[in-house]
Amino acid sequence: MTTVERPLGAPEIGGIGHSVKRHEDARLIEGQGNFLDDIELPGMLHMAILRSPVAHARIVSIDTSEAEAIDGVVAVVTGELMAEHGLAWMPTLSGDTQAVLATDKVRFQGQEVAAVVATDPYVAEDALELIVVDYEDLPVLTTPQQALADDAPVIRDDKEGQEGNLVYEWEAGDAVATDAAFAAADRVVSLTTHYPRSHPAPLETCGALADVNSVTGQATIWLTSQAPHAHRTLFAMVAGLPEQNIRIISPDLGGGFGNKVPIYPGYVVATAASLLLGTPVKWIESRSENLISTGFARDYYMEGELALNDEGRILALRVRMLSDQGAFYADAQPTQFKAGLFHVVTGSYDFAAAHIVCSGAYTNKAPGGVAYRCSFRITEASFLIERLVQTAAYELGIDPAEIRFKNFIQPDQFPYETPTGFVYDSGDYPTALSTALEEVGYEALRAEQAEARAEGRLIGIGIAHFTEAVGAGPSRQYDIAGLKMIDSAELRVHPTGKAILKLGVKTQGQGHETTFAQIVASELGIPVTDIKVEHGDTDNTPYGLGTYASRSTPVGGAATAMVARKLAAKARDIAAHLLEAASDDIDMLDGKLFVRGTPERSVTIQDVALAAYTNLPAGMEYGLEGVHYYDPPNLTYPYGSYIVVVEIDAETGVWKVRRVVALDDCGVRINPMIVEGQIHGGLTEGFAMSSMQWITFDPDGNCIGSNFMDYLVPTAWETPRFELLHTSVPSPHHPIGAKGVGESATVGSPAAFVNAVVDALAHLGVRNIDMPVLPDRVWAAIQAASS
């Protein structure tokens, strides 16, 4: 096996590889967290937003007079007022435009139409009901297929030159080589599937508290933001405020999962209201507002075809994808890649040719495209390839595990360039899958499945072996709205040897305050408990693009290791001075700096820290601090083998999960306990998406799924038990060999759950059931197969 674990340092230092308990938890579980809605400022006003009840309509008139007359209402803001300040529309992170408050039309149910600012949040809510809007209904388009029909009305007629509802067309790979491989294939296997709309649904909804000082022009904005620095720059660009006067503070976040990456109209209106009124204004969404109007994820209609030879070797992949973007193209994704990193759809397999054609359409729905715990559309890609390979196994009569072993990229092929241009850094896929198969007892399960089938019982074994591409990204290819996707860390060691680490990334519950301190602990030997981690306040931390797409460890973690190494180099020089030796002869281990070969001639990192401010060699600059901006040379490519075992009740279609075995490889694990927590969370979300979560829309564009009674979040009761395994093949280009892991399980597991259900029915000829795999869909598939 190619697993390489980094040697563990001393437990009292608590560096990389130790399951250090999360520093942030004491504060969070004892009610000392500081979330947006906890923050109160003197004279603060409250804002509530009026949202469109209809999905597509022309606004004939808005009458705010009754609302304005209520006691406690300070102002009613409409699109017209915003337009007077040039703020009725704003740019999106994908280079589109989005209405801040509607002026001409509403284009989805839940769109922002007006806002009330009042002395009390309840008065603001009550006043919304007194605003009278006259809507003239327009035809509603709820699917991209409807939207691209010849006679479809143009949803974005606000955009000059926009003739239909097509948002983009984009392709990757080589059409000619792919066509040639298909022409030469023995077999072609296809699958059409829809990855439905889902919602990140963080427990804390989105909000802003804006405090713009009319005298100094200083704008302090507390924001539920996964990317505070990027948001600051975009606020400066949109609102024309000088960037040095904008301070974004992203306080404790109650989850983000991609939902807190976009800039929402509420943020802009609250800031504008504070600017106009000269008082702090707070806005925080209700649960339903969050579910109907903020960024949705997925909604990809996918058709995939595999060309194979008779032995089951894949020769080529062809994919057509159509995405439902909603009314505004607001994805936050790298500018070059219109469908995010969907072109990683070739997955874990070695073949020469692929061609991917992607298009997106405007519809009368809230904006989609949020990378919900996902590196820019990798979840959809991983789902498609893993469902396709499973389908090919049935069509060719090859075991689903066997077909994967036949086609895996082999360990000696890394670095491996895929036909769509990714260069996978490292991996050992055969070991991962065989380890997981052994753990689950695959052969015995297949035998049990055959016996059960003979008795009319349904058992299914679903496999998914995913490869992710995370850590966006190298500046040569990756930017969002022109901002290169680098990240940074600033480290200061104080005279007493205690340190403060400041990050461009921003935790939303992933444990950065612990794991990033562990990186410093390993590099410098300062105990992890002596290191404070700061993040989220743009006045106090160095620039970065933020936390999403599992980029924190690959980019921010690398920056942390690099800045610690800069300090380690200076620490060696200082130790050499103190020990009267040459810097090159100084070694460091567990917080001791000693002369190579004579370990008794040593000083501690704490001695060195004090000397950095008191006793330096001539000419050396005082202090022990630095900053590093990291531009990753490549993405990192974590992977995993997931196996799900289900039993289905043929009478009702209800399925129950018997086992989930999940093997992950994220290279070097900084904190195994936190990594396992991330995987538990991701598996739970994958289970939810595949089994129960569904946001749908009726033909009038009404969102069905606007609360937690309709959009189901699994509790401990429904969630299966997870059996976790790991291998550890380091990333060769990451300073500590780590790859991202935060989203691995959300990406990899939906296909494993669906594959398990389909596997139980494969002998009946069932090849696909779209997510969510609800019992009635399973039952209908069984009925259709038996008739």
Q: Which is nearer to ligand CDP, 141 or 545 (CB)?
A: 545
Stretch that binds ligand CDP, among 227-235, 506-514, 565-573, 753-761 (CB under 6 A): 506-514
Q: According to the binding rule CB under 6 A, does residue 512 interact with ligand CDP?
A: yes
Stretch of 113-121, 336-344, 671-679, 766-774 lying at the interface with ligand CDP (CB under 6 A): 671-679
Integer Cα distance of 576 and 583 in angstroms? 5
Give the DSSP H/E element, type plus range, for residue 596: none
Q: Which of 98, 693, 743, 767 is catalytic?
A: 743
**What are the backbone dihedrals phi and psi of residue 532, each rounded to the nearest 5 degrees, phi first?**
-100, 140
373 included as an active-site residue: yes
* 295 vs 511 by CB, closer to ligand CDP: 511
- The one segment of 385-393, 440-448, 610-618, 735-743 that binds ligand CDP by CB under 6 A: 735-743
Annotated catalytic residue: which of 6, 373, 377, 387? 373
- CB count in 10 Å sphere of residue 558: 27
Nearest to 672 by CA among 515, 459, 498: 515
The least CB distance from residue 226 to ligand CDP, in Å, is 9
Residue 550 near ligand CDP by CB under 6 A: yes
Least distance CB 294 / ligand CDP (angstroms)? 19
Note the helical H segments in 619-737: 672-691
The answer to the question of residue 632 lying near ligand CDP (CB under 6 A) is no
**690 part of the interface to ligand CDP, by CB under 6 A:** no
Other beta carbons less than 10 A from residue 217's beta carbon: 13
* Residue 45 CA: distances (Å) to CA of 40, 117, 123, 142: 10, 6, 11, 37
CA 93 to chain CA centroid, nearest Å: 15
Which of 431, 552, 684, 749 forms a contact with ligand CDP (CB under 6 A)? 552
The 312-341 site mask, x for binding ligand CDP (CB under 6 A), equals: ------------------------------
Cα–Cα distances in Å, from 654 out to 359, 548, 768? 35, 35, 16
Q: Does 225 bind ligand CDP (CB under 6 A)?
A: no
Please classify residue 21 by burial: count the beta carbons closer than 10 Å to its beta carbon, then call 0-12 exposed, 13-18 middle and 19+ buried.
middle
DSSP 8-state assignment for residue 683: H
Gyration radius of the chain over CA positions: 27
Which of 46-54, 272-280, 457-465, 662-670 is the region at the interface with ligand CDP (rule: CB under 6 A)? Answer: 662-670
Rank residues 20 and 49 by Cβ distance to ligand CDP and give the closer one: 20
Which range touches ligand CDP (CB under 6 A), out of 74-82, 135-143, 525-533, 736-744?
Answer: 736-744
**Of 488, 510, 560, 602, the one binding ligand CDP by CB under 6 A:** 510
Is 187 among the catalytic positions? no
CB of 461 within 8 A of CB of 756?
Answer: yes
Joined together, the tokens standing for residue 460 give 């299914």
Is 15 one of the binding residues for ligand CDP (CB under 6 A)?
no
Is 743 an annotated catalytic residue? yes
Helix (H), strand (E), coil (C) string for 755-777:
HHHHHHHHHHCCCCCCCCCCHHH
- Cβ 740 to ligand CDP, closest distance in Å? 4
Nearer to ligand CDP, 269 or 741 (CB): 741
Q: Assess 666 for contact with ligand CDP (CB under 6 A).
A: yes
With binding defined as CB under 6 A, does residue 742 bind ligand CDP?
yes
Provide the minimum distance between the beta carbon of 299 and ligand CDP in the complex, in angstroms, as a whole number.
22
Question: Rounded to the nearest whole angstrom, what is the least distance from the CB of residue 28 to ligand CDP in the complex?
Answer: 14
Supply the DSSP string of 436-505, one letter for each residue: HHHHHTHHHHHHHHHHHHHTT-EEEEEEEEEE--BS---TTT-EETTEE--EEEEEEE-TTS-EEEEESS
Q: How far is the CB of 468 from ligand CDP (least distance, A)?
A: 10
**How far apart are alpha carbons 460 and 751 in whole angstroms?**
13
247 binds ligand CDP (CB under 6 A): no
Query: Using CB under 6 A, which of 670, 689, 695, 766 touches ligand CDP?
Result: 670
Quick one: which of 150, 187, 181, 184 has its CA closest to 165? 150
The closest of 444, 430, 378 to 401, measured between CA atoms, is 430
Nearer to ligand CDP by Cβ, of 265 and 511: the residue is 511
Please choose, out of 158-166, 260-268, 312-320, 739-747, the segment that lies near ligand CDP by the rule CB under 6 A. Answer: 739-747
Tokens 């896929």 label which residue?
A: 429
Bridging pattern class, strands 57-63 and 105-106? antiparallel
Q: Is 51 noted as a catalytic residue in this protein? A: no
If one asks whether residue 396 binds ligand CDP (CB under 6 A), the answer comes out as: no
For the CB of residue 536, give the shortest distance to ligand CDP in the complex, in Å: 13
Nearer to ligand CDP (CB atom), residue 5 or residue 718 = 5
In degrees, to the nearest 5, what angle opens at C-alpha 750 toward C-alphas 746 and 755?
155
Among 749, 694, 747, residue whose Cα is nearest residue 373: 747
Identify whether the C-beta of residue 419 lies closer than 8 Å to the C-beta of residue 353: yes
Stretch that binds ligand CDP, among 135-143, 533-541, 622-630, 664-672 (CB under 6 A): 664-672
With contact defined as beta carbons under 8 Å apart, do 747 and 452 qualify? no
Residue 671 interacting with ligand CDP (CB under 6 A): yes
Smallest distance from ligand CDP to CB 183, Å: 41
Residues 6, 22, 107, 374: which is the catalytic one?
A: 374
Site residues (vs ligand CDP, CB under 6 A)? 510-512, 515, 547, 550-553, 557, 666-671, 674-675, 678, 738-742
- Just list the catalytic residues: 226, 373-374, 743
